[in-house]
Amino acid sequence: MAKIIISALLCLAMFGSLAQAAGGCREANGTAPVSGSCDAYIECKNGVAEEKLCPDGLLYNEKSTGYPCGYPIDVECTQAQSRLQSAQPTEDCPHQFGYYRMGDASHCGQFMNCASGRGYVFDCPEGLAWNAATYKCDWPDQVEDCDAEAFLGFSCPAPGQKSDLLGEQEADYTFHPSSDNCQVYFICIENRPRRISCGEDQAFNQETMQCDDIDNVPNCSNDIRAKGAEIKAARASAAAGRKAAGKLH
């Protein structure tokens, strides 16, 4: 009986040290990369190594001091061969975890966050496109594979003739009113548009080519002007309230 226990212990000890050697625990508690893989890692607990796998869609992040797996954009996998576990797609998601753009080049404003295979759809603020390279909502002209003109429904006019007189430079960007929303305008930068909203109580003044008090822009519909006036009144009364409260102190 004693013999069996001793050999079992010996076996355990050997296994432990083998695993340690294979895993290369650098610290008693910590993680280490697995050669050739970007999503497997060695977890060491009290010097005992165990190979683990990040959830599908995440990569092992050697630099993390907390949870060892991260989104691909945050992780630099330095393994020569970047072997990955096979994808576990669901009806919603290409992988269990991650952020994914939705739609085609003319619909770039939506993205999906996948968590345990469930997809949650998000909209970028109006006029912005999901940038898969930065995981942020961005100007559509900055997003690869986004057709900014189709997405925004605005085509930048062809650039005017360059004037050679006095070495005059063509403007780098041009301003254009929106044809259907007086509170919105477009800036064309290198012939690609960005949509800018002036804000609730402002509108684009085509004479100054700037956002202006809605009262100065007669082109807005009565509805929009009335809404703007309401917002201004609410702001004014809130400011008056703050002032009155300030006097009490």
Ligand X SMILES: *[C@@H]1O[C@H](CO)[C@@H](O)[C@H](O)[C@H]1NC(C)=O
Binding site for ligand X (CB under 6 A): 28-29, 46, 205-207, 217, 219
Residue with tokens 């970028």: 124
Least distance CB 208 / ligand X (angstroms)? 8
Q: How far is the CB of 29 from ligand X (least distance, A)?
A: 4
Q: Shortest gap between Cβ of 189 and ligand X (angstroms)?
A: 22
Nearer to ligand X, 27 or 190 (CB): 27
In this structure, what token pair is assigned to residue 12? Answer: 């355990």
| CA nearest neighbour of 211 among 230, 198, 196 | 198
Structure tokens at 230: 């309401």
Residue closer to ligand X by CB (options 28, 226) is 28
C-beta of 18 vs 28, nearer to ligand X:
28
Q: Which two tokens stand for residue 214?
A: 């809605």
Least Å distance between CB 82 and ligand X? 30
Closer to ligand X by CB, 65 or 86: give it: 65
Tell the smallest beta-carbon distance from residue 11 to ligand X (Å): 23
Q: Residue 217: exposed, middle, or buried by beta-carbon count in 10 A (0-12, 13-18, 19+)? A: buried
Question: What does the DSSP assignment read for 182-231?
Answer: TTEEEEEETTEEEEEE--TTEEEETTTTEEEEGGG-TTS-HHHHHHHHHH
With CB atoms as reference, the residue minimizing the distance to ligand X is 206
Residue 99 CB partners (closer than 8 Å, separation 6+): 71, 111, 112, 113, 114, 132, 135
- What whole-number distance in Å separates Cα of residue 120 and Cα of residue 98? 11
Q: Whose Cβ is closer to ligand X: residue 31's or residue 37's?
A: 31
β-strand pairing of 184-189 with 173-177: antiparallel
Residue 66 or 125: which CB sits closer to ligand X?
66
> The tokens 């020569």 sit on which residue?
80
CB of 156 to ligand X, least distance (A): 18
Beta-bridged to residue 189, according to DSSP, are: 173, 192
